[in-house]
Amino acid sequence: MLVDFNTLPEESRVWIYQANRSFTEKELSEIETKLNGFIEAWTAHGKDLQSGFKIIYKRFIVIALNQNLNAATGCSIDASVHFIQQLEKDYNVDLMDKMNVSYKQGDYIAYKSLVDFKKMAKQKAISKKTIVFNNLVTNIAEFKENWEVPASESWHSRFL
């Protein structure tokens, strides 16, 4: 059951998929249509899952699920992963690699491998004030407070 992301409870579970490039306007429109269809039909043991999504900075797909109503199961999580993998194939984009880092450089969103990010930290090319995206947040409350933060306030700080 598709609902507006902003109406979901703070404790709703989130999954964040970062793309290795920005989506075009055409791709965004198509992806939104596909997400609407997937979430509208998404179930767990035949029960509707109350979910919503956001696409942020033309690069992050954030799916949220109100687990108070019906919780995700192994099969429903597998279905969402298969959906994201299909998006990867359809748009020749990487959404599942967790060993990459996104951060802000002015208005631009940079995307680097973790190895390159560590090198940049050693070279002081990024600082504790660099805005990073903590894709490890687990619910909407954390997403709002701790997703887009200075590197000093994220797991990224271990490299600084």
- The first and second tokens of residue 107, run together, are 């208005």
Q: Quote the tokens at residue 92.
A: 């020749």
Q: Are 103 and 130 in contact (CB under 8 A)?
A: yes
Closest CA to 126 of 152, 100, 98: 152
Residues 111, 95: Cα–Cα separation, whole Å: 12
Instruction: Give yes or no for a contact between 10 and 139, defined as CB atoms under 8 angstroms apart.
Output: yes
| Topology of the domain comprising 5-91 | Gyrase A; domain 2 (3.30.1360)
Q: Where are the beta strands (DSSP E) in 19-130?
A: 43-44, 47-48, 51-56, 60-65, 100-105, 108-113
The pair of structure tokens assigned to 32 is: 């939104």
Per-residue confidence of the chain (160 residues) as pLDDT tens digits?
A: 999 999 999 999 999 999 999 999 999 999 999 999 999 999 988 889 999 999 999 999 999 999 998 888 899 999 999 999 999 999 999 999 888 999 998 889 999 999 999 999 999 899 999 999 999 999 999 999 999 999 999 999 998 8
Q: What pLDDT, on a 0 to 100 scale, did the predictor assign at position 160?
A: 85
What was the pLDDT predicted at 41?
A: 94
pTM, two decimals, is: 0.94
Model pLDDT, residue 59: 96
The predicted pLDDT at position 107 comes to: 87
Task: List the chain domain ranges.
Answer: 5-91, 100-159
**What pLDDT is recorded for position 143?**
97
> What was the pLDDT predicted at 144?
97
pLDDT in the model for residue 6: 96
- Dihedral pair phi/psi, residue 81, rounded to 5°: -65, -45
In a 10 Å sphere around its CB, with 0-12 CB exposed, 13-18 middle and 19+ buried, how is residue 129 labelled? exposed
